[in-house]
Amino acid sequence: MYKKKILLSILASSILVAQEIELKQITVTSATTTTQSIEDVTSNLNVITAKEIEEKRYTTVVQALNSISGISFTSNGPIGQTSSVYLRGLSSKRTLVLIDGIRYNDLTGLSGAPFGDLMIGDIEQIEVIKGAQSGIWGADATAGVINIITKSAEKGAHASINVEYGSFSTKKYGVLASYKTDAYYIKASAQKIDSNGFSSLVPNGDDIDMYEDDGYKNTTSNIKLGFNFDENNKVDLSHTLIYSKVESDPFATPNGIENSITKDSFSQVNLNHKNDFTELDVYAKLSIFNRDYPQGWTKEFDGEVKEYGIKSNTAYNDDDFVVLGIDYKTFEHKNDLQEKYNNKAIFLTNSNEFTLLGGRTVLSESMRLDAYDKFDNKTTGKVGIKHFCKNIDGLVTSANIGSSYNVPTLYNLNDPTYGNKNLTPENTLSYDLSAEYKAFKITYFNSKTKDMIDFDLNTWKYFNATGETKIQGFEIEYNTKINEDISLTSNYTLLDAKNSDDKRLQRRPKNSLKLALDYYGVKDLHVGINGEYIGERHSSDDKQGTQTGKYTVVNFVTNYDINNNFSVYAKIDNLFDKYYQVVDGYATAPLSAYVGVNAKF
């Protein structure tokens, strides 16, 4: 018995060491605009890795994000329909979303990033930085930053192919090829999804088979290439193109016809120089948004965000560094508005490591000055501290406080019917406190927003609300290996989100619980089950309207590696065929099944 306890103790220790090593190997770029080890970041963050994406067989980025504590979502029907992600109770338009560091927030829309078109395919990892980040990234980073990083080329020649088929005649294809030498690299990928879907608009309680299907097509392609001039100088380029076609139903019109076509692209070029003193990046980025609604009142929405900047990262005192940069951005809404504004900014981030109370401590400070030609100048900042306790192995505490702001969109300001030229930016102050002990972590978060931009149903105009929107809550995470064959991932979020009238905000669940169990006990086989419970949630503020919460959904997935280069998988979403709606009057998928194959060369 004594020997058995020793063996179990050794096994548990080895599992914890392996988890710690894996954690240290993950690096992120969104926390300070420069690459850092995840354990050196003071901000609250979650990273979804390519391995997790492959094992869970997510179809959309929203599905992957929904596995994280503090995140909930709504969707107006099947795949491809309008989707909103709520990060710590704040809506999508208050979260800055990036693809390889390029802005994905659609300045011609009203909901921030168009999450409905973000499919899982060529993704290396998804970084979610929580809390106010305007001191680093500027406007639109009130709730946090989501950075989707596409895969990079590996040394030598590589290729992969993915094929999937399933419910609603959904077909998914993916191909990736890359080649890398010491002098240059190139990587190209394309992912295509074609689904018949089901009706987006379905009265609550009705069967989706009573209505016509709303299909969806998406082709997302990405190319990365680079050239090393010498060991100190290189150039990197990337380009992502998203083309989609969505069938949907007009408002309150099941079986109606409303189509949209999207052609968005995101490009950048980055010149990198390293010397003994600093690392310098000079960059240009371009986001192009092009949406066409043939049956819509306004047919076309076209916009551009152009960004130019220079940034230096200077290390000093071994473990310390300072980032200094300037950037210039222009935002243009074309078509019926023909309006634009620009932004100039200077930003500074400093990070230090030192010993406090005998333990390692990381302290970071960020400050940014933004000057818009349409709004008053704005200075925002962020301070974070993270402490690794010396006397209690595995205990880590952290605290962050930051200010942030959101600017009105050109549509908010200039639409001839609904616009209000007197709108001013929203202002938010938020903080969080965390304690982490080995596999367990608890976080308290709090934010207060003044001048929240809202829509007045009496005047049919946008306006700045008086008072404060107050959001607070707790995130609890427990992720561990139960034994060498079974791992557990779990989190719970308690949210208290109230508007400036002290009434609970719509569409945010008060409680949510997410669980995932993964089994690896059979060689080359992975079996997983995951699910979530969504607590009380209503379609209108102040707990009014339809109850759209209080349900549980469970999913199943299995992967089998035939050899090192070939694998097959199957998944069942909504395993117990639960009927529910996340937005009143819009359908969700019943039990649905998919099978797929992966090949690597």
The DSSP code sequence of 142-195 is: SSEEEEEEE----SEEEEEEEEEEEGGGEEEEEEEEEEE-SSEEEEEEEEEEEE
Residue, of 449 and 29, whose pLDDT is higher:
449
Query: Running DSSP on this structure, what letter comes out for residue 208?
Result: G
Quick one: pLDDT at residue 32?
67
* Mean pLDDT in residue range 197-221: 96
Q: Go through the chain and tell me how many residues it has.
A: 601
Task: Specify whether the CB–CB gap between 68 and 49 falls below 8 A.
Answer: no
Residues 297-345: tens digit of each pLDDT: 778 999 999 999 999 999 998 889 999 999 999 999 998 899 999 999 9
Distance in angstroms (rounded) separating the CA atoms of residues 13 and 328: 50
* Confidence grade of residue 31 (pLDDT, cut at 50, 70, 90): low
* Mean pLDDT in residue range 160-164: 97
Quick one: pLDDT at residue 127?
96
Average pLDDT of the chain?
93
Exposure letters 465-493 (e unless 16+ CB within 10 A, then b): beebbbbbbebebeebbeeeeebebbbbb
For the record, the structure tokens of 273 come out as 């120089």
Task: Specify whether the CB–CB gap between 541 and 506 falls below 8 A.
Answer: yes
Distance in angstroms (rounded) separating the CA atoms of residues 430 and 469: 12
Residue 96: which of 60, 136, 64 has the closest Cα? 136
For the record, the structure tokens of 331 come out as 């935002």
Among 23-27, 78-82, 150-154, the least confident range: 23-27
Exposure letters 289-314 (e unless 16+ CB within 10 A, then b): bbbebeeeeeeebbbbbbbebebbbe
Distance in angstroms (rounded) separating the CA atoms of residues 448 and 451: 10
Task: Specify whether the CB–CB gap between 572 and 592 falls below 8 A.
Answer: yes
Quick one: pLDDT at residue 403?
97
* Mean pLDDT in residue range 49-69: 96
* Confidence grade of residue 229 (pLDDT, cut at 50, 70, 90): very high
Beta-sheet pairing, 544-547 with 216-230? unpaired
Among 390-394, 431-435, 444-448, 471-475, the least confident range: 390-394
Name the residue type at position 483: N
DSSP 3-state of 351: strand
* Mean pLDDT in residue range 148-157: 95
Q: What number does CATH give the domain 2-600? A: 2.40.170.20
Task: Specify whether the CB–CB gap between 161 and 145 falls below 8 A.
Answer: no
* Mean pLDDT in residue range 82-107: 95
pTM exceeds 0.75: yes
Distance in angstroms (rounded) separating the CA atoms of residues 395 and 442: 12
Contacts of 110 (CB under 8 A, 6+ apart): 93, 409, 411, 412
* Mean pLDDT in residue range 509-514: 98
* Confidence grade of residue 25 (pLDDT, cut at 50, 70, 90): low
Quick one: pLDDT at residue 222?
97
% of the chain residues with pLDDT over 70: 95
Residue, of 211 and 297, whose pLDDT is higher:
211
Quick one: pLDDT at residue 230?
95
Distance in angstroms (rounded) separating the CA atoms of residues 304 and 337: 13
Strand-pair partners of 213: none
Looking at the predicted structure, is the pLDDT value of residue 100 above 50? Answer: yes
Quick one: pLDDT at residue 448?
97
Distance in angstroms (rounded) separating the CA atoms of residues 343 and 336: 22
Residues 259-278: tens digit of each pLDDT: 999 999 999 999 999 999 99
* Mean pLDDT in residue range 365-393: 96
Quick one: pLDDT at residue 13?
32
Residues 85-95: tens digit of each pLDDT: 999 999 999 99
Looking at the predicted structure, is the pLDDT value of residue 26 above 80? Answer: no
Distance of CA 24 to the CA centre of its chain: 21
Quick one: pLDDT at residue 192?
98
Find the angle CA(103)-CA(106)-CA(108) to the nearest 5 degrees: 140
* Confidence grade of residue 3 (pLDDT, cut at 50, 70, 90): very low
DSSP 3-state of 397: strand
